[in-house]
Amino acid sequence: MKTASGSPFVFLLLCSSFAYPVFANDNRPVTMEDIKALEAQLAELKRRFITQIPQPKDVAKTEKPAPKVNTETKTHTLDVYATMRPTFGRIEDRGEDQYDVRDALSHAGVKATHRFNDDWAAELHGEWSIDVQNTGEFGRSRRAYTALVTPVGRFGIGKQRPAQYLFIAEYVDIFNHANSPFAYDVESLFFVDNLISYRLDTGPITFVAVGQFDGDNNDNNNDLFNAGVSYNKDGLHAAITYQMNDVYDQQVRLGENSLWAGSLAYEFTDRFYAAVSYQDKTYERENVADRDGSTLDLSFAYKLSKYYKLKTGYFDFDDGYNNSDPNNQSYDGYNLTLEWLPTPPLRVHFEYLTKSYTNNQDFDSLSVGFRYDFRTSINY
């Protein structure tokens, strides 16, 4: 049985009771005042009737939220990689011709990263060369360090890349050769052991400072200091660095080397890239005259098509000795490389390289080589 609040019959009875006084006297004509009075009574009745109807509950307010899915965040990353870079070519060096299988810095490595507490992470990195041009065994260590990433920067201890390579050499080091970059190569830094490093990235600006502390050799305190700042954004790289290191003959200090360097690189389009690096070096010696030298490397790359790329470079190394000095080993030269890239991991290259020495016979080589890269990452 329905309640009175929901019965149409009760509603009609109420309407009749409200209307009866108005039309009780059938002999009096109905006026506008009567009609208005009836309308007011019907409106009041409707208001009372609506207030008695139960309203539906607010589903949005009463509905329970969906249970949260408890997914575990993966905080560990393991990278395993290797690159094999054998070459074969005809080499003319100091008047002697030879054919030889050589290596363009083959190596393999492993890097483990553990992220914790939001902006914190721990790194472990080991990398070793592969002696392709001889026995094919694992050779010397290239990297061996542990680092701690914090909200105020990254701190590392062990054998690492210095600022000099990261900011100056890396952007011109685009060729498939063990001695690339060809002017930078002779006396500059690639990997440094016994190194303490600090790195801070803030937007497009990166600051790196490193110091070498090898207590068993050379100075008992700091043996090398290298710092630099770089800007990287929208295909543009610009950097400046400073380096100072002591020079020893066993335990006898001969003096120190210091240098300022700069680099500039720009990717004009997805097909054309250009880079330049320059180092101004001062050789300060205690028992002989000081001298000033420099290195200059220019590198260019042009993508001919989807599968072919052309690279070329010019380089100039000046060790600061006079041209008539028999110790002078200065040279300049250029190289030209054609790459075939049939698949992303594989690179087949043909290279011509020439060096012209001030006091020695020239160097020429014509070579072909393969480069195959492997990398896999595991998150857990």
Over residues 257-314, the pLDDT tens digits come to 999 999 999 999 999 999 999 999 999 999 899 999 999 999 999 999 999 999 999 9
84 & 9 share domain: no
Average pLDDT, the chain: 88
39 & 161 share domain: no
> Which of 292, 257, 264 lies closest to 278, judged by CA?
264
280 & 355 share domain: yes
pLDDT at 105 over 90: yes
pLDDT tens, residue by residue, 317-331: 999 999 999 999 999
80 & 45 share domain: no
> Using CA atoms, how far apart are residues 367 and 202, in angstroms rounded to an integer?
42
**Residue 220: which pLDDT band, with cuts at 50, 70 and 90?**
low
**Residue 150: which pLDDT band, with cuts at 50, 70 and 90?**
very high
pLDDT, residue 74, reads 85
**Residue 6: which pLDDT band, with cuts at 50, 70 and 90?**
very low
111-114 long-range contacts, Cβ below 8 Å, gap at least 24?
111/78, 111/79, 111/81, 112/76, 112/77, 112/78, 112/79, 113/76, 113/77, 113/78, 113/79, 114/75, 114/76, 114/77
22 & 126 share domain: no
43 & 104 share domain: no
pLDDT, residue 274, reads 98
User: What is the gyration radius of the CA atoms in the chain, in angstroms?
Assistant: 40
pLDDT, residue 272, reads 98
Separation in Å, CA 179 to CA 102, 173, 184, 325, 355: 12, 9, 9, 25, 12
pLDDT tens, residue by residue, 134-146: 888 888 999 999 9
Give the CATH number, domain containing residue 292. 2.40.160.10
pLDDT at 214 over 50: yes
> Which of 325, 324, 345, 348 lies closest to 337, judged by CA?
348
Position 64 in a domain: no
Indicate the pTM of the whole model. Answer: 0.79
Position 69 in a domain: no
pLDDT, residue 52, reads 65
pLDDT at 89 over 80: yes
Q: What is the largest CA-CA distance in the chain?
A: 142
**Residue 38: which pLDDT band, with cuts at 50, 70 and 90?**
confident
Q: Which two tokens stand for residue 265?
A: 């690189």
> Residue 275: beta bridge partners?
265, 299
pLDDT, residue 23, reads 46
Q: Mean per-residue pLDDT for 71-76?
A: 77
39 & 171 share domain: no
State what percent of residues in the chain have pLDDT above 90: 71
**Residue 10: which pLDDT band, with cuts at 50, 70 and 90?**
very low
> Using CA atoms, how far apart are residues 154 and 198, in angstroms rounded to an integer?
6
33 & 81 share domain: no
**Residue 69: which pLDDT band, with cuts at 50, 70 and 90?**
very low
**Residue 28: which pLDDT band, with cuts at 50, 70 and 90?**
low
Helical residues (DSSP H) of the chain, grouped into ranges: 8-23, 32-51, 59-62, 163-164
Position 243 in a domain: yes
Strand (E) positions, the chain?
A: 76-84, 86-93, 96-103, 107-116, 120-130, 138-150, 153-160, 192-202, 205-212, 224-233, 236-249, 252-267, 272-285, 291-303, 308-318, 331-343, 346-357, 363-379
